Amino acid sequence: MPLFKKAKKKYRVGEPNSNCSEPETDKWVISDFVVSNLIPEVGTRPFPLDELMLMVSAVVYFKPEVIFEWGTHVGKSARVFYETIKAFDIPCNIHSVDLPPDALHTEHPKEKHGMLVKNIKEVHLHRGDGVLKSLEIYKSMGTSKKTLFLIDGDHSYESVLRELTMVVNEVKDPVILLHDTFYQSPESKYNIGPYKAIVDCFKGKQGDYKIISTQMGLPGMTLVYKK
């Protein structure tokens, strides 16, 4: 076993083409990064390869100055974001919120809370209601920073609709990733609540927002941003 870990490679992507209206990143570079840097750290669960690529692409393309996410669990999503900002030299802080230690929830990580991102200076761990705590921190910073939010769709339609609506209404031009958003026909008995929450949140506003989703299987990831 080697005494020292091999230094992780730095990655570069070109600046977006100013003649293009659609978001575009170098998928070969993103693929190399996901396979070489991310998979050894976080594996493919809960985020399959296409979802990891969408998460990384969103950070690389939009270059947020601050990232908010909640449902920290052991810290996989925060670790994805951390590895990305380090590898692509994007100055950014990550705020990750989870339930209080005494909360009752089937997925409460207890002593494993945030274990993949503890003692990383760019990642700040918090306790409380995810969206409320994130918006509190966001407002304390002023409203000029470029922000990215990750909303985990494990919960009900009502929960995702509440969180998404609050972010859209209270944050200036947010970039939003939503997990567990794959749509299948209702007969499948899958949880399509997060997908429906996105549809209902942007009803009548579709022309103002760009919505990009992974397809062809669970769990699903969706990127939303204002045009």
Question: Which pLDDT tens digit goes with each residue over 145-184?
Answer: 999 999 997 768 999 999 999 999 999 999 999 999 999 9
Q: Find out if CATH 3.40.50.150 is the number for domain 27-226.
A: yes
E-assigned strands of the chain?
66-70, 93-98, 123-127, 147-152, 175-179, 209-213, 221-226
Q: What percent of the chain has pLDDT over 70?
A: 93
Average pLDDT, 10 consecutive residues per value, the chain (227 residues): 56 84 94 97 96 98 97 92 98 93 69 92 95 97 93 86 97 96 91 94 93 95 96
The model scores a pTM over 0.85: yes
Instruction: Measure the CA–CA gap between 114 and 16, rounded to whole angstroms.
Output: 34
pLDDT in the model for residue 4: 38
